[in-house]
Amino acid sequence: MKIILASASPRRKELLKLIYDDFEIRPSDADEALPSDLAVDKAAEFLACLKAESVEKGSDELIIGCDTVVVTDNKILGKPKDRSDCFDMLKMLSGRRHCVYTGVCIRYNNAVISFTEKTEVEFHELSDDEIAGYMDTGEPFDKAGGYGIQGKGALLVRGICGDYFNVVGLPVSALARKIDEMLKK
């Protein structure tokens, strides 16, 4: 069996190494437009399935598609478009609790399993200078919600409830268990 990660994310690649030594990266080119009536807690799983279905699947290949969204006030915060957008996102998260949802879709032979993992993250109250200083690191601009908990973004976080790796972008424990479950069927 060949493992395929349908993502170009360097963070997901590193996390998948906790489960598998040998796998192939095959980034998805799926259109990530969401239906307007889709609930925010379903968005990540919907996108993960689009990604898993969009990559070319050969025989005996297990495809893993993933997507992570940050949600606050029932609003999805994607990757910031620019510095101003990033500032607004971090200001919105400051001193508050938000949810990080990572959706995962696994395809193998004719079977498909998909799930969503949720982690709550609480931020410290952040000053404008703290936000500007964090943005000056360059770290937040390629990450959903405008922060990376695995880097300097950890300094913004008061605490989490749930899977840390889910916030980074891949809930490795849940993924390993779901793959085991799929392969035993």
Residues with active-site annotation: 67
Distance from C-alpha of 112 to C-alpha of 109, rounded to nearest angstrom: 8
Amino acid (1-letter code) at residue 95: G
Alpha-carbon 108 to chain mean position: 21
Is residue 119 within 8 Å of residue 161, measured between CB atoms? Answer: yes
The burial class, CB within 10 Å (0-12 / 13-18 / 19+), for 113 is middle
Task: Compute φ and ψ for 101, nearest 5 degrees.
Answer: -115, 125
Neighbouring residues of 123: CB distance < 8 A, sequence distance ≥ 6: 93, 94, 95, 96, 97, 98, 156, 157, 158
Give which of 15, 42, 41, 63 is closest to 169, Cα–Cα.
15
